[in-house]
């Protein structure tokens, strides 16, 4: 009898011809997620089995598996040879001694000598004989014993299906650069794109010494939490202090945020191109703050040629918060911090600035040297 974690994958099977590719990426991602834990990963038809692990690690293995995109569901179970005595021994090990239960069989091996209802009845009867306080209830049982008769002469026996993260394996939908702040929104935006299979590179802008190291540590921590899902290994930071000082000195105060955002996009695009990323990702949501209007979006899109994905564009703050809590970034996001956008924040930011006005103000700045100077401050932090 071997203890295993059974992993079933999601949307991958929809991909027809690309199935082999998706499965390879999924395998690599599972291995990455399980790194540092002793285990063996086996692929069987339609399932993955994690085996040969330390019994004490099973909760950690499940926690990690639950965050891998592409996982539809998973179960802790036992793998045994498919004879009745072995199946019964496994079922007995998993079955409670009282309350109501049922046995639910799935047969991948259609040549197995017993049908699913026959197996349900036989194993059910043996369990009842072993534990007289048990009762069968096929409609609403307190517990269920699932039998999965595989085609290789084995059976998987387990007590529950746990829900996986869904989505598609990270890396199967190209690569994007997430502009990540210390706020609530951008981590959620990164999570959503990773869930659709996108590899996400993190890029953060700071205004040291106006923003301090705690602010940076906070963003690194957010990236670390996110990396459990995105499987990313580092975050890049770029200093935009000088850009902000120049904007503050030379341009209309009401455009501070708008102009800074345009610099962020330019730098992010350059970084994306250097790293083979095909798009930018932000946590913007329409109308949430003054800069997140269609005019604001137009103004920042105008300086880049890469597409900008804004997965939260139609979300209310409350909806974003619910997701941030589920992902586990919320508690960190709400810690107090200074973001570079709050340095030199004008009292009345322009809500619907005209592009011609923005460009006129921006022409007072040496754009290219400022972008190059900022990029030269790029630092990477391992997660
Ligand atoms: P968030 O909660 O993600 O900070 P927000 O509601 O505070 O969002 P803004 O501060 O207007 O909104 O920022 C809009 C988007 O711009 C953010 O979601 C993020 O993608 C990007 N952004 C803002 N500040 C930074 C920063 N310091 N570094 C990187 N990206 C940033
Ligand atoms: Mg913010």
Residues near 360 by Cβ (< 8 Å), separated by ≥ 6?
none
pLDDT at residue 12 greater than cutoff 70: no
Residue 282 Cα: closest atom of ligand 1: 20
Residue 288 Cα: closest atom of ligand 1: 6
Q: How many whole angstroms from 269 Cα to the centroid of ligand 2?
A: 19
Distance CA 178, CA 272 (A): 10
Give the side-chain half-sphere CA count within 13 A for 376.
8
- Ligand closest to the CA atom of residue 283: 1
Q: How many whole angstroms from 265 Cα to the centroid of ligand 2?
A: 15
- Ligand closest to the CA atom of residue 290: 1
Atom 7 (ligand 1) nearest CA: 183
Q: How many whole angstroms from 185 Cα to the centroid of ligand 1?
A: 7
Q: How many whole angstroms from 371 Cα to the centroid of ligand 1?
A: 19
Atom 6 (ligand 1) nearest CA: 185
| Cβ–Cβ < 8 Å for 84, 122 | yes
Average pLDDT of the chain? 94
pLDDT at residue 372 greater than cutoff 80: yes
- Ligand closest to the CA atom of residue 333: 1
pLDDT at residue 47 greater than cutoff 70: yes
- Ligand closest to the CA atom of residue 244: 1
Q: How many whole angstroms from 33 Cα to the centroid of ligand 1?
A: 28
Atom 14 (ligand 1) nearest CA: 284
Over range 265-274, report the average pLDDT: 98
Over range 349-369, report the average pLDDT: 94
Confidence of residue 15 (pLDDT cuts 50, 70, 90): low
pLDDT at residue 87 greater than cutoff 70: yes
Confidence of residue 71 (pLDDT cuts 50, 70, 90): very high
* Domains recognised in the chain with CATH numbers: 2-163 (3.30.2130.30), 175-382 (3.40.50.620)
- Ligand closest to the CA atom of residue 320: 1
- Which residue do the tokens 């998987």 mark? 156
Instruction: State which of 178, 180, 183 you would mutate to test the pocket of ligand 1, scoring each by most atoms of that ligand within 8 A of its C-beta.
Output: 183
Distance CA 329, CA 382 (A): 18
Residue 339 Cα: closest atom of ligand 1: 27
The burial class, CB within 10 Å (0-12 / 13-18 / 19+), for 21 is: middle
Over range 308-333, report the average pLDDT: 98
Over range 176-190, report the average pLDDT: 97
Atom 31 (ligand 1) nearest CA: 181
Instruction: State which of 185, 201, 327 you would mutate to test the pocket of ligand 1, scoring each by most atoms of that ligand within 8 A of its C-beta.
Output: 185
Question: Over the stretch 219-254, which tens digit does the pLDDT of each residue have?
Answer: 999 999 999 999 998 999 999 999 999 999 999 999
Backbone angles phi, psi at 340, to 5 degrees: -60, -25
Over range 257-275, report the average pLDDT: 97
Residue 178 Cα: closest atom of ligand 1: 20
In this structure, the residues whose C-beta lies within 6 A of any atom of ligand 1 are 179-181, 183-186, 204-205, 264, 282-284, 288-289, 291-292, 339-341
Q: How many whole angstroms from 338 Cα to the centroid of ligand 2?
A: 9
pLDDT at residue 290 greater than cutoff 80: no
The secondary structure of 133-187 as a DSSP string is TEEE-SSS-SEEEEEEE-TTSEEEEES-PEE---S--TTSS-EEEEE--SSSHHH
Residues near 345 by Cβ (< 8 Å), separated by ≥ 6?
256, 257
């Amino acid at each position: 009898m071997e203890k295993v974690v059974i992993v079933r994958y999601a949307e991958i099977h929809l991909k027809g011809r690309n199935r082999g590719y998706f499965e390879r990426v999924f395998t690599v991602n599972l291995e990455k997620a399980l790194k540092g834990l002793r285990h063996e990963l086996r692929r069987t038809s339609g399932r993955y089995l994690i085996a040969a692990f330390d019994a004490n690690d099973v909760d950690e293995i499940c926690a990690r598996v639950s965050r891998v995109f592409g996982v539809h569901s998973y179960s802790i179970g036992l793998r045994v040879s498919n004879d009745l005595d072995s199946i019964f021994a496994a079922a007995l090990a998993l079955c409670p001694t009282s309350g109501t239960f049922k046995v639910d069989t799935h047969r991948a091996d259609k040549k197995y000598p017993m049908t699913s209802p026959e197996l349900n009845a036989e194993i059910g009867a043996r369990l009842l004989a072993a534990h007289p306080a048990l009762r069968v209830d096929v409609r609403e049982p307190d517990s269920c014993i699932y039998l999965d008769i595989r085609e290789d002469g084995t059976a998987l026996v387990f007590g529950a299906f746990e829900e996986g993260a869904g989505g598609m394996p990270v890396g199967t939908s190209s690569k994007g650069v997430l502009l990540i702040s210390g706020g609530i929104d951008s981590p959620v935006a990164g999570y959503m794109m990773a869930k659709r299979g996108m590899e996400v590179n993190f890029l953060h802008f700071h205004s040291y010494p106006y923003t301090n190291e705690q602010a940076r540590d906070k963003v690194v921590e957010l990236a670390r939490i996110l990396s459990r899902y995105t499987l990313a290994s580092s975050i890049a930071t770029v200093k935009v202090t000088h850009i902000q000082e120049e904007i503050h000195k030379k341009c209309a105060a009401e455009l501070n945020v708008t102009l800074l955002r345009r610099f962020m996009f330019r730098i992010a695009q350059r970084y994306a191109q250097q790293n083979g990323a095909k798009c930018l990702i932000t946590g913007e949501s329409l109308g949430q703050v003054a800069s997140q209007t269609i005019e604001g979006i137009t103004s920042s899109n105008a300086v880049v040629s890469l597409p900008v994905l804004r997965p939260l564009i139609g979300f209310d703050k409350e909806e974003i918060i619910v997701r941030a809590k589920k992902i586990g970034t919320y508690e960190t996001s709400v810690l107090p911090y200074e973001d570079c956008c709050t340095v030199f924040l004008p009292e009345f930011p322009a809500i619907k600035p005209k592009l011609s006005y923005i460009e006129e103000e921006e022409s007072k700045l040496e754009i290219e040297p400022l972008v190059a100077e900022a990029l030269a401050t790029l630092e990477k932090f391992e997660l």
